[in-house]
Amino acid sequence: MVLTDIKKESLIKKTNLGWKYFLNMSWSIVVYALILALTIVLNIVYNDSLKTNSGALYYVWIVVESFALIVFLAFIVVGLNTINYSWYEWKEKLIYAFISLNLIRIIYVINFAVKKDYWTFKIEKWTTMDYTLIAMSYAIYMILTFICKQLIPTIPILFVSLSFEYIALFFIAFITGSFLKTFVTGMLCGLSLLFFPSTYFINFPQFLLDYLIPNLCVSLACLVNFTNDKQKKISKMFTFMTIPYLGIYLSRVLAGVVFYITMAYPGFPVLLYSAIINGINSMFDYLTLSLITPIILWRLFSLQKRYKNKIRTIK
């Protein structure tokens, strides 16, 4: 009798999970289809304008939009996997609910997190190890910035350059998992860019969007809760790297719209022009960092574990 009840309960759970997968997948397909349709419409409307003014930029546009569609498809696949995540990973569930524009799931996840007291704000205790990690990250950031921005020239027109300095910020986000500590480190590093000759400065709002806010966006990586589950290793690292870069890209696009209006071709939307130009340099940054950063961080799991054990003993 007991075994029968257990089997029934297990069957109900599997059925509910199956329905969740089906509903979320259906919604994701609809959203992806709408984005694909919008991309096709933009191509039809503006292709001739791009070919007339700059044939090279037309091909850049094709590359950027193709890459964006691939990344969004990867988001959908990983997002469906988060349905099976534990509620201790509720932040990742919420991230993918927002990305898929699934309002019902957003409300459901937030409501559940509040009821279970997952949504709490605590004052973090900082240790000597925290200050050491911040100082180390700051030093690495400064060295990499000097090499990548001062010694290696930026490719003109597309503004493509190496951005290995972000590795230092991803490092502290990975080890501490603390939004505040990563945010503070990003703030210190970002403000220090004011003293670099390679920093392009028009005014402080432009500096915020082009330099400071992109640094602070790396703090979003702390929404990912790394576990010992090897099956989630790749999907979590994908989220860890991609969510911050989505914020970085949007900040750069906004800077282009507000402060680089004159660079767009006559009759061509400034927003779309900024999305293309910042798309190619952000894509280059993202791909290079996504290849290098995980290789470094995966070798630091022991340091991450040591840090977390130290924090637990203090609590």
Over residues 248-281, the pLDDT tens digits come to 999 999 998 888 877 777 777 888 888 888 888 8
Looking at per-residue pLDDT, the higher value among 211 and 41 belongs to: 211
Q: Is the pLDDT of residue 52 over 80?
A: no
- pLDDT for the residue numbered 121: 66
Over residues 212-243, the pLDDT tens digits come to 999 999 999 998 988 777 778 888 899 999 99
For residue 185, give every residue at least 6 positions away whose Cβ sits within 8 Å of its Cβ, in sequence order, or none.
134, 137, 138, 141, 168, 169, 172
Average pLDDT of the chain, as a whole number: 83
Q: Is the pLDDT of residue 3 over 80?
A: no
- pLDDT for the residue numbered 168: 96
- pLDDT for the residue numbered 4: 52
DSSP the chain: -HHHHHHHHHHHHHHHHHHHHHHHHHHHHHHHHHHHHHHHHHHHHHHHHHHHH-HHHHHHHHHHHHHHHHHHHHHHHHHHHGGGS-GGGHHHHHHHHHHTT-HHHHHHHHHHHHHTT-S---PPPP-HHHHHHHHHHHHHHHHHHIIIIIISPPBTTTTB---TTHHHHHHHHHHH--HHHHHHHHHHHHHHGGG-TT---S-HHHHIIIIIHHHHHGGGGGG----S-GGGHHHHHHHHHHHHHHHHHHHHHHHHHHH-GGGSPTTS-HHHHHHHHHHHHHHHHHHHHHHHHHHHHGGGHHHHHHHHHHHHHH-
Which range is least confidently modeled, 72-81, 151-160, 200-209, 224-233? 151-160
Looking at per-residue pLDDT, the higher value among 308 and 188 belongs to: 188
Residue 128 burial class via C-beta count within 10 angstroms: exposed 0-12, middle 13-18, buried 19 and up: exposed
Looking at per-residue pLDDT, the higher value among 190 and 198 belongs to: 190
- pLDDT for the residue numbered 54: 63
| Average pLDDT of the residues in 174-183 | 93
CATH code at 128-314:
1.10.1760.20
- pLDDT for the residue numbered 135: 96
In the chain, the percentage of residues whose pLDDT exceeds 70 is 87
Over residues 152-177, the pLDDT tens digits come to 777 666 677 788 999 999 999 999 98
- pLDDT for the residue numbered 1: 45
Every domain range in the chain assigned CATH 1.10.1760.20: 128-314
Looking at per-residue pLDDT, the higher value among 86 and 5 belongs to: 86
- pTM of the complete model: 0.86
- pLDDT for the residue numbered 12: 45
- pLDDT for the residue numbered 16: 54
- pLDDT for the residue numbered 55: 64
Contacts from 266-271 at CB under 8 Å and sequence distance 24+? 266/53, 267/49, 268/46, 268/49, 268/50, 268/53, 269/46
Over residues 108-125, the pLDDT tens digits come to 888 888 877 776 667 778
Structure tokens at 271: 């927003």
| Average pLDDT of the residues in 58-85 | 83
pLDDT band at 315 (very low <50, low <70, confident <90, very high): low
